[in-house]
Amino acid sequence: MLESDRTFPIEADPGAVWSSLCRPERYQVVWPWLKAFDGEALAEGERWTCAVQPPLPYVVRFGLSLHTVVEGERVEADVDGDIRGWARLTVAPAPHGTDLRLASALEPATLLLRGVLRAAPPVARFGHDWVLDTGADQFRSRACPGPEPGERSTRDG
């Protein structure tokens, strides 16, 4: 089982962050390691399918069933496919702009991924953490860039 509870600071206001999350048609532009994606909207009852390529010799394919979406605040999903479990993403105001928090509990569902986790837990953790950290950096720079140099932030009043 790979459990995560990570908070990523974003220098943009929560509304801008939520607005970026509501654009699944841009996800593969924001995250180039997202090799396949099918999802229409960030809405309760939606089913998304994904294929993720970490910097390891395998692709992880999974589905997300969005069962809770509270506009501007959080998304909760069940995960199934090559991995299974649950994930929750929350958006919260913070002094720097927004805290984007991802909590999840995922376990491998295929023989290959179970073998990787059992034989080389640090490799499995590296792949998982790489996707989270790289994904947060790419989100910051491609989906929610901060103010342009010389531009005054709306957070400062």
Contact 117/95 with Cβ under 8 angstroms? no
Confidence class for position 6, pLDDT limits 50, 70, 90 = very high
Instruction: Give 60-103 pLDDT, tens digit per residue.
Output: 999 999 999 999 999 999 999 999 999 999 999 999 999 999 99
Instruction: Give the residues across from 60 on adjacent strands.
Output: 52
> What's the pLDDT score for residue 120?
84
DSSP string, 72-83: TTEEEEEEEESE
Nearest to 76 by CA among 39, 46, 97: 46
